[in-house]
Amino acid sequence: MDAQLKKGLLDVCVLHVLKKEDAYGYKLTQEITKILYISESALYPVLRRLEDQGLLETYTAEHSGRLRKYYRITAAGIEKLNELILELKELRKVIDLIIMDGE
């Protein structure tokens, strides 16, 4: 998949996964790779950017004696996710037309 296309889809994947439940970095990477392959190291800059935009927030919680940093979607993040889903639906119409025309 084209790197730019993948980058654009990554935001919606992150927000989609976090809408279901809060997650720490490694768990989030595991869930996202079920949808779209990404390395854990590539995910953290995206998480920081989404947090800077107010779409995510973080908190720490203890797990097995260690602190983990968890990510949670904000109300603004849910709003953005809904906008992105509408854009994807529009894009799907265009893709379907192109694919059907090519058959």
- How do residues 50-76 score in pLDDT, each as one tens digit? 999 999 999 999 988 899 999 999 999
Q: Taking 80 as the threshold, does the pLDDT of residue 10 lie above it?
A: yes
Q: Specify whether the CB–CB gap between 32 and 17 falls below 8 A.
A: yes
Residue 93 has pLDDT above 80, yes or no: yes
Burial of 59 (0-12, 13-18, 19+ CB in 10 A): exposed
Q: Considering the chain, what percentage of its residues have pLDDT values greater than 90?
A: 72
pLDDT for 27 equals: 93
Q: Classify domain 3-102 at the CATH class level.
A: mainly alpha
Question: Which amino acid is located at 30 in the chain?
Answer: Q
- What is the helix (H) or strand (E) element at residue 71, kind and residue range? strand 66-73
Q: Using CA atoms of 9, 59, 75, 94 in order, give the dihedral in degrees to the nearest 10.
A: 0
Give the Å distances, CA to CA, from 92 to 47, 58, 72, 87, 101. 26, 32, 28, 9, 14
pLDDT tens digits for range 28-46 = 999 999 988 888 788 999 9
| For the chain, domain boundaries | 3-102
